[in-house]
Amino acid sequence: MKIVYFVKDGCDACKKAREKVEFFLGRWGVGEGFDRESFNLSTVDGLVEAAMREVHDIPTVVLEQEGAEVARWIRRPPTSAELHAALGLETALQDAVGAPQGDSHP
């Protein structure tokens, strides 16, 4: 998976969005498994990439898997719950421990 950040020089919200996402990834112990890409909309290259991906606001955080967009957060970072769900961590955890079964008491 890949996390793509669209930011701009001097944008405090952009810095905080990246820090929040990176904090969650580190806290959940999954940060090493992600590629990261950042596009600075203060540059021509960043503006071109933003135009191609239809990014119109900053910060924008995009989650991709195998080149396809999985989730996008515009003008704000994802909440913990949103990022967790988009990454499929809840599903992966349930698969690892088994889905809850009914009450096993007689």
For the domain made up of 2-86, the CATH class stated in words is alpha beta
Is residue 58's pLDDT more than 80?
yes
Say which residue, 91 or 34, is predicted with more confidence.
34
pLDDT classification of 98: cutoffs 50, 70, 90 = very low
Report the 3 state secondary structure along the chain: CEEEEEECCCCHHHHHHHHHHHHHHHHCCCHHHCEEEEEECCCHHHHHHHHHCCCCCCCEEEEEECCEEEEEEECCCCCHHHHHHHHCHHHHHHHHHCCCCCCCCC
Show me where the domains of the chain are located.
2-86
pTM: 0.81
Position 89 pLDDT exceeds 80: no
